[in-house]
Structure 1
Amino acid sequence: MDWIERVAGIRRWSKGSERAPHKPLLLLYALGRFQRHGNRPILFSAAEAELKKLLREYGPPRETSPGYPFHHLTSDGLWLVETATGPGSPGPELGRLRDSQATGRLHPDLARALSEEPTLVARIARFLLDANFAPSLHADLCLLVGLDLETLETAGETMANGVTIRRDPAFRAQVLMAYEYTCAFCAYDGWLDGTAVGLDAAHVRWRAFDGPDELGNGLCLCAIHHKLFDKGVLGLSSERTVTVSARFVGRSDSAREMVLALAGRSVRAPQPGLEPVEANHITWHSRQIFRTPARAS
């Protein structure tokens, strides 16, 4: 049985290009638990707060419930739910999951395969990360779910449905050159021994959601603003100014200077004649990643 293909075939709610990473987040959480404790049942009431935090930090901006993936993942043959009265999920409602003492665990066939093939945990986790989240978020997400990142980094590229998940190495060079090796938000332009340092080529629409490795979907950002952009703290307006989430709190001088002061600032444009970020990618990021509302500039 090809478990990567099974994971790639997870049924999920969809509406256009909206993000719905609820099931992948639960699977990553379960894989982290498996690495540490084996396939022990996970009591919903004990895991609810952790799952809610995962959805709040890495799910879509809209309100979501941890009961949704805990119940609905059972339909994909990867997850089993039992209650105090026997097998079967009581549904996605939080109260019913708590009251019935619902527990979840990986399907025994999957757990057996994970035990027999040590690299399978890493390969499934790598696929889930690449298929659902921006690369800048992978390390923090692994830490939060308790996955051994060092093991994941040795897993290599993952095959799913005959397609290799692979990044275009030319994208970074193209984007950094277009923006003259300068952060489009703060104008940082550090170099070390003739090489740009601390600068990234950020995808506006994530590759996991059909974001192309093209200049019209890229921004040159310093490492900190790249992370904040992917977390939804920073965004872009239709007028190509920086937006800052009103949910962000920063009390230090550095937080005010590096983040809050960006609100309303014009985003640096690429060199004349080169393509700026396309409006449809800005719209996607604003709806799917940015944590509304935006602060007044």
Structure 2
Amino acid sequence: MDWLERTATLRQWTKGGARAPHKPLLFLYALGRFQQDADGGLFYSAVEEDLKRLLAEYGPPNRTTPAYPFHHLVSDGVWEVRTDRGPGSPGSAVRELRATRAVGQLAPELRAALRREPSLLGRLARVLLDQHFPPSLHSELCEAIGLELEPTETGRLSPVRRARDRRLRELVLTAYEYQCAFCGYDGRIGAVPVGLEAAHVRWWAFGGPDDVDNGLCLCSLHHKLFDKGVLGVGDGHRVLVSQHFVGRSLAAREHVIALAGRPLIGPQPGARPVAAHHRSWHTSQVFHGTPRPGADLPRSRSREDSRSRPQVSPRTPTG
């Protein structure tokens, strides 16, 4: 049985590019628990809070009960559920899963395959990570789940449906003149930019093209916050900051909250700004909550000093 192919073709609800990572998150969680205890089952009542937290943090803005993937993953042949009544799931109702002491586990055939070939676990995890989450979130998602991958498992080991364009990073960084579109950071070591990344607006895992109008040059911090749904890009190509974000320090206020309502920095004339349909996808599928109103930038010495240095003026792209 080709477990990689089966993992790559999990049946999921899809409509208009909507994200539905509920099954992949449960599958990843189960792989992490298998690493820790290959024979242990996952009682729904014991893992419900863990799954809720994962769905809230890594799922789409609309909330869904973890009972949904706990029941429906059975249909993909990689998961089984049994209750006090015997084999089989009682359904996707939370009350029934709790009342019947439902316990889930990787399917027996898959557990046997993982014991025969331990490296399979890392390859399955890579399939799930590559197909459902951006690279900026892979390490922290594995840490949140308790999944440990060997260094040899960090390469692209999944069935690849399409290849990424390796030129995208250079094209996007050039379009934005090697500075973060949110904060203007432009650090270099010699001639080499450091801490600058090309972010997909519509995630590559969800059909986002490797095109400049689906990209943003972002510093490492703002790339992570963008992919986590803390930051977004709204109408007029202005920065959105989620009201769910809380930060009381000067750093949090200056580097995140104060961005609310600001125009993007770039792209340079002649480069295509982020396309409206990619912005719309990110806002509906990744950005969490309601945007904050525009905020004034807290005064600080670093900001005052920066005003004496030449800068590229922020502008609102057209098109």
**Percent of aligned positions that are identical:** 56
Question: Which residue of structure 1 aligns with residue 92 of structure 2?
Answer: 92
Kindly tell me the number of residue pairs found equivalent between the two proteins.
294
Give the corresponding residue for 2:198: 201
CA drift at 1:157: 1.8
Q: Which residue does 2:304 correspond to in 1?
A: none
Offset from partner CA, 1:42-98 (integer Å, 9 cap, x none): 111010000000000001100111000000001111100000121111111111111
C-alpha distance in 2 between matches for 1:248 and 1:41 = 35
The answer on whether the counterparts of 1:125 and 1:152 sit within 8 Å (CA) in structure 2 is no
Residue type at the aligned position of 1:251: R
Matched to 1:217, the amino acid is N
Find out whether 1:179 has 2:179 as its counterpart.
Answer: no
Equivalent residue for 1:217?
214
Any conservation in 1 of the 2:83–2:89 contact (CA below 8 Å)?
A: yes
Q: Residue 295 of structure 1 is aligned with which of 279, 286, 292?
A: 292
1:239 counterpart SS class: helix
Alignment of 1:66-215 (within 5 A): 66-149=66-149, 151=150, 154-160=153-159, 163=160, 166-215=163-212
CA positional deviation for 1:155: 4.8
Shift of 1:153: 5.0
CA contact (8 A) 2:126 2:153 kept: no
Aligned to 1:101, what secondary structure does the other structure show?
coil
Counterpart contact for 2:124–2:158, Cα < 8 Å: no
Q: Distance in 2 between matches of 1:252 and 1:39?
A: 45
Over 3 Å counting, the alpha-carbon distance change for 1:158 and 1:138 in structure 2 is same
Query: Is the aligned partner of 1:267 residue 2:257?
Result: no
- Uncovered stretches (5+) of structure 2, i.e. residues with no partner: 295-319
Report if aligned partners of 1:19, 1:59 keep a CA contact under 8 Å in 2: yes
Deviation at 1:31?
0.3
Q: Does 1:250 align with 2:247?
A: yes
From 228, 233, 239, the counterpart of 1:236: 233
Displacement of 1:239 after TM fit? 1.0
What CA distance in whole angstroms lies between the structure 2 residues aligned with 1:27 and 1:239?
39
CA distance in 2, matches of 1:155, 1:245: 31
Secondary structure class of the residue paired with 1:188: coil
Q: Which range is displaced more, 163-172 or 56-65?
A: 163-172
- Which entry has the higher C-alpha Rg, 1 or 2? 2
When the two chains are superposed, the root-mean-square deviation of aligned CA atoms in Å is 1.1
Contact kept, 8 Å, 1:202 with 1:218, in 2: the verdict is yes
Q: Which residue of 2 aligns with 1:226?
A: 223
Q: Distance in 1 between matches of 2:144 and 2:151?
A: 14
What TM-score does the superposition give when structure 2 sets the normalisation length?
A: 0.90
**For 1:114, what is the secondary structure of its paired residue?**
helix
SS in 1 for 2:235: coil
What is the CA deviation profile of residues 189-236 of structure 1, one whole-angstrom value per residue up to 9, with x for unaligned ones? 000122100000000000000001110100000000000000000001
Q: Report if aligned partners of 1:157, 1:164 keep a CA contact under 8 Å in 2.
A: no
TM-score normalised over the length of structure 1: 0.96
Distance 2:241 2:71 in 1: 35
Match of 1:52 in 2: 52
Equivalents in 2 of 1:229, 1:83: separation in Å?
41
